[in-house]
Amino acid sequence: MDQNQQAERNAATEAFMESLDQLSQSLQSKPETVPSDRVGAQNPSKLQNSRSTKIDFKALEEAVADIEQFIQSNSPVQGG
């Protein structure tokens, strides 16, 4: 593999890692809260969807962590 291809791969890896960090930060930020008297008042299925969304976010955070760990373990050591 020539140096240009390696440089492109390194740049893509860094961009991907930055995107994962941004995703992780946005998932960790506190979501807006809706008054409980309004949640699901008009449509009970929306309440169920919001509950399942919380589970999906947790699973997504775990997946992001797994991907970050995988990429770090397979990335060449940088420096120099």
And the tokens for 43? 């449509």
* Count, residues in the chain: 80
**Is the whole model's pTM more than 0.75, yes or no?**
no
Residue 64 domain-assigned (yes or no): yes
pLDDT tens digits for 62-79?
889 999 889 888 877 655
pLDDT of residue 80: 47
| Mean local confidence (pLDDT), 3-28 | 86
pLDDT tens digits for 17-59?
888 888 888 888 766 665 665 555 556 666 565 555 556 788 8
Residue 52 domain-assigned (yes or no): yes
Residue 12 domain-assigned (yes or no): no
Helices (H), the chain: 3-28, 44-74
Residue 54 domain-assigned (yes or no): yes
Domain that holds residue 57: 45-73
Residue 53 domain-assigned (yes or no): yes
